[in-house]
Structures are given as structure tokens and as C-alpha cells.
Amino acid sequence: MKVGDVADERVKRMRARRMISRCPVCSEELVVTRLRCGHCETTIEGSFEVNRFARLSKEQLEFVEIFLKSRGNIKEVERELGISYPTVRGRLDTVLEALGYRVDPAAVEEVAQGKAGRRKEILDALNRGELSSEEAIKQLRNL
């Protein structure tokens, strides 16, 4: 076996999976109990707190990345994701809740009302023939 082959095998073994933060049986938060260095294979055992961002789904992490890249400019997030303002607000609220922050119920209701109003606008435009069914479906899915 060549040196490169050994390195390739080591990389395959070390390939990390996305860490879960909730128990798949009872849904309680998990505690990390072992850390290992992939380079020197040093292992440390104990109880380690899971990073708050590990609680986020892949989709939520992608949203946070776009939100940060846009420096919090909701209009830019709307444009990049092709979604409406209420949808951006709703996704932001979902991320905040997943990170353990309290979201104002009135703000959540405001977003829901905005989505309902936008949904009606899309359906009305479809009814008037201003949108194709494909375009209406696309816009409804992006709400």
C-alpha cells in the first residue's frame, strides 16, 4: 500500500457526518461525550455542550448563511431565495425558535396574515389569467 493510499483511507474514515442534537428516541437534547482529533487520534471524554447552531436543520443553516451574507437585508434575502417577505420573516422566526429564542406571537400572526394575503393575490392573478398555473404553483410554493 502506498503512502497516498493510506492517507486516502484515513480521510474516508474521518469523513464526518452531520451531528444530530436531539435523541432519535425521546427527542431530548443530546450531550457530546467524546471528541477525537482526526490528525493525531487523541481522544477526550467528558460532557460537552452542543453548539446552538447544531440544532438547526440543513435548510435552516442555508437560510442563516444567506441571511448573514446579505447582512440581514431582507429584500436581498427575498431576491436570492425567490421568496416573499412574509416567508423570509417566517423562516427567520423558525430559526430563532430553534436556537432557543422566544418569538413574539403577534409577529408570527402578522407573518401568517401576510402569507394568506399573498396567497389570495396569487390565486386572484391566476383567476384573471395574469399568471400561468406553473407560475402560480411556483409562487405558492415559495410562500
Does residue 92 have a pLDDT over 60?
yes
Does residue 7 have a pLDDT over 70?
no
pLDDT of residue 10: 54
Computed over every residue of the chain, the mean pLDDT equals 82
Sorted by where each begins, the domain ranges of the chain are: 3-50, 54-141
> 33: helix, coil or strand?
strand
Q: Could you report the per-residue pLDDT of 29-66, keeping only the tens digit for each? A: 888 899 888 889 999 999 887 788 888 888 999 999 99
| Nearest by Cα to 124 from 112, 136, 111, 110 | 136
How many CB atoms sit inside 10 A of residue 77's CB? 23
CB 21 within 8 A of CB 55: yes
CB 139 within 8 A of CB 119: no
pLDDT of residue 26: 92
Mean pLDDT computed over 11-34 = 77
Q: Show contacts of 83-92: CB within 8 Å, 24+ apart.
A: 83/142, 83/143, 84/114, 84/115, 84/118, 84/142, 84/143, 85/114, 86/111, 86/112, 86/114, 86/115, 86/118, 86/143, 87/115, 87/142, 87/143, 89/114, 90/115, 91/60, 91/63, 92/63, 92/67
